[in-house]
Every structure is written in C-alpha cells, then in structure tokens.
Amino acid sequence: MTTAAPSVIRKRRDFLAANKGLRVARPGFVLLARPNGLDEEGEAGPMRFGITVTKKIGNAVVRNRMKRRFRELLRAELPLYGLPGHDHVLIGRDNGVERDFAQLREELRAALTRAREGKGDPPRNRKPGKRHAAPKGPKR
C-alpha cells in the first residue's frame, strides 16, 4: 500500500479510458478502475482519481456538494485502499446525494476491495447508436 497522494484526472480521454476498465456499482456511486500504464522507469504509473456527476443529479449546488464529498472520500481512502498504478473514477448516483458519509466510506472501501480482487460487475448491456440517434418524426 502506498501513501502518496493521488493526482487528479483532468483529460476527457483519460475518463473515457477508465470507462473501459473494471466497474463496481454501489448505491451511492459507480467506481471505475483501470491500469494507467507504466512510468519512465517501467514501474506502475501514479494513482489518479476523477469524479463525475451528471446533470441528472439535482442542481449545481447538489452536484458540487456531492463532488466535494467524493473528493474528501478519495483523499482519505485512496492512499490506503486504492490500486497502485490505476485510474479511479467515481460516477455519482442519485442515492449518493443524501447518503451518510460513513456509509459512503464503507461502500468505497468495499468497492476498492472488490476492484483489487478483480471482481467487477458485469458490463452494461447498452445498445450502440441509441444515444445520438436522429429524432423521429417530420422535420419542421
């Protein structure tokens, strides 16, 4: 276990890459974990984290509060329980808004333990092309 402070994921491509990794769902969030490659010395890369909360979750005040809570959780728990050389992304869920902080902490520890064991949830069955399909009906 490492005690180095994790850095923050800022690039869209890194979030998209993490989306192809291991997925562990919990009531308050979904954890994505994916190896981020090797550094110049051939060792595991730095531990990094990212947070995303979509506009489906409350208003801006609620989303920002959720991100602050997640940031504090990750700051405290990743150095102890995180996967070295991995990117960790937390995706906020509606249940995470008013969830007790201690409960979120336990869920994060359980999710990180499952990720460390390689026990992710099965992939989502999404139909490709549905998201950006052209609207149906006559053009006005």
CA distances (Å), origin 107, targets 46, 62, 66 = 23, 20, 15
Separation CA 132–CA 105 (nearest Å): 36
- Give the Å distances, CA to CA, from 46 to 1, 17, 109, 124: 13, 15, 20, 28
pLDDT digits (tens, 9 = 90+) for 72-108: 999 999 999 999 999 999 999 998 888 999 999 999 9
- pTM above threshold 0.85: no
Higher pLDDT, 57 or 42: 57
The per-residue pLDDT for range 31-51, each reduced to its tens digit, is: 999 998 756 666 667 899 999
Domains of the chain: 7-116 (3.30.230.10)
Residues 32 and 89 sit within 8 Å (Cβ to Cβ): yes
Beta strands across the sheet bearing 22-25: 7-8, 48-52, 86-92, 29-35, 22-25
